Amino acid sequence: MIRRLCIIGVGLIGGSLARALRQAGYVREIVGSSRRAEHLQEAVELGVIDRFDTDAARAVQGADMIVVCVPLGAMEQTFRSIAPALASDAVVTDVGSAKARVVTAARAALGARLSCFVPGHPIAGTEKSGVTASFAELYRNRKVILTPLDETDPTATARVQTMWETAGAQVQCMDVEHHDEVLAATSHLPHVLAFQMVDTLARMSDEDEIFRYAAGGFRDFTRIASSDPVMWRDICLANDRAVLKMLERYRSDLDRLAGAIRAGDGAELERVFRNAKAARDRHNDR
Ligand code: NAP
């Protein structure tokens, strides 16, 4: 059981974890921290956290589990603020969507406390943000990837694993680079495509007409273009190498598809669509 959980960044991801652990009776006290007191007051009123402090160093005092749930661009500063204030038995983990940058930030900022840091990433979310969008079931039957470092104390990894399993998730470990490549393909690329597709349509002169006739397919494909632009800016920049690699690959496949349409090559179009449908149907329930 966690004695005192400190969530830094009580939004969709941090708020949902707090709710899940409270619902499971796995935590005695939850302290929140972020920049704006009104957001934290809202989290108290919703019963997500017990109390808060906008000063992260004060918020982590006495906490045995600290989960950093701020945007990627704010990770290093957060680690720097909390490093001198961590309790001797504290475990620190994060939820950032791209791991190499977070690990670089942790190495630079946590110093001698690096061994208590367990990089993590829940593969769960919605296009909404803020504590009002959080819900206890978000992690149920979802995957969480941990990317422990050579320096990470295995006991810290085990404590973070148990915490996520208590929230309903299945935990897997992998190395940082593999995580960033897999997520570039399965999450970062689809978000970039959705954002760009809606932007392309929105810049057409007959935008109103186009969106009026947008059907289910458009809605299915573009739901995630409603996600937080700042968060996705940070993710693309933090995982630039892997995202660019996937974009290049996709661009070359799109060029090939355009070539097939231009050439009236129905067999090639059907081959690609059949292959995609089979893969989608095979993996749909995972
Ligand atoms: P969110 O709902 O916008 O929550 C972000 C929280 O961080 C807010 O409580 C915000 O509160 C706080 N915050 C922002 N800047 C801060 C700073 N400089 N210092 C301290 N607190 C700060 O975002 P989210 O969706 O929960 O995402 C949070 C993290 O989870 C990101 O690192 C993201 O990569 C990762 N993640 C997201 C998803 C997803 O689908 N959404 C999935 C997996 C992982 P204030 O405005 O009061 O500061």
Q: Which two tokens stand for residue 141?
A: 């039957």
Alpha-carbon span 130 to 34, nearest angstrom: 11
**Superfamily (CATH) of domain 178-283:** 6-phosphogluconate dehydrogenase C-terminal like domain (1.10.3660.10)
The secondary structure of 79-127, three-state, reads HHHHHHHCCCCCEEEECCCCHHHHHHHHHHHHHHHHHHEECEEEECCCC
Using the 8-state DSSP alphabet, how is residue 36 labeled?
-
Q: What share of the chain is helix, strand, coil (3-state, %, to 5)?
A: 60, 15, 30
Residue with tokens 């290093």: 76
Q: What is the pLDDT of residues 118-165, one digit of tens each?
A: 999 999 999 899 999 999 999 999 999 999 999 999 999 999 999 999
Mean pLDDT of the chain: 96
Dihedral sign computed on CA atoms, order 115, 63, 175, 195: negative
Tell the residue nearest (CA) to atom 16 of ligand 1: 70
SS3 assignment, position 203: coil
pTM for the complete prediction? 0.94
Query: How far, in Å, is the centroid of ligand 1 from the Cα of 67?
Result: 11
Tell me: pLDDT of 181 over 70: yes
Tell me: pLDDT of 286 over 70: no
Alpha-carbon span 247 to 60, nearest angstrom: 40
Q: What is the pLDDT of residues 197-212, one digit of tens each?
A: 999 999 998 878 888 8
CATH of 2-174, one of 3.30.930.10, 3.30.365.10, 3.40.50.720, 3.40.50.620: 3.40.50.720
Query: How far, in Å, is the centroid of ligand 1 from the Cα of 274?
Result: 39
Alpha-carbon span 142 to 121, nearest angstrom: 11
Q: Place 285 in a pLDDT band, splitting at 50, 70 and 90.
A: low
Phi, psi of 189 (to 5 degrees): -60, -50
Shortest-distance atom of ligand 1 to CA 34: 21
Q: Summarize the confidence of residues 258-283 as an average pLDDT.
A: 97
Ligand 1: which of 35, 55, 164, 179 to mutate, most ligand atoms within 8 Å of CB?
35
**Pairing state between β 51-52 and 27-33:** parallel
Query: How far, in Å, is the centroid of ligand 1 from the Cα of 73?
Result: 10
Query: How far, in Å, is the centroid of ligand 1 from the Cα of 261?
Result: 42
Which of 256, 195, 253, 266 minimizes the C-alpha distance to 229?
A: 195
Query: Given this model, what pLDDT does residue 209 score?
Result: 82
Dihedral sign computed on CA atoms, order 242, 224, 284, 144: positive
Query: How far, in Å, is the centroid of ligand 1 from the Cα of 240?
Result: 20
Tell me: pLDDT of 46 over 90: yes
Query: How far, in Å, is the centroid of ligand 1 from the Cα of 206?
Result: 35
6-to-12, 127, 140, 143, 279 alpha-carbon distances in Å: 15, 24, 21, 22, 41
Shortest-distance atom of ligand 1 to CA 16: 26
Q: Is the Cβ–Cβ distance between 128 and 5 less than 8 Å?
A: no
SS3 assignment, position 167: coil
Query: Given this model, what pLDDT does residue 216 score?
Result: 83
Query: How far, in Å, is the centroid of ligand 1 from the Cα of 129?
Result: 8
Shortest-distance atom of ligand 1 to CA 130: 2
Alpha-carbon span 57 to 50, nearest angstrom: 17
The binding-site residues of ligand 1, defined as CB within 6 angstroms of any ligand atom, are: 9-14, 34-36, 39, 69-72, 74, 78, 95-97, 121-122, 125, 129-130, 228, 231, 235
Tell the residue nearest (CA) to atom 31 of ligand 1: 71
Residue spans per domain, the chain: 2-174, 178-283
Q: Summarize the confidence of residues 237-244 as an average pLDDT.
A: 97
SS3 assignment, position 202: helix
Alpha-carbon span 187 to 189, nearest angstrom: 6
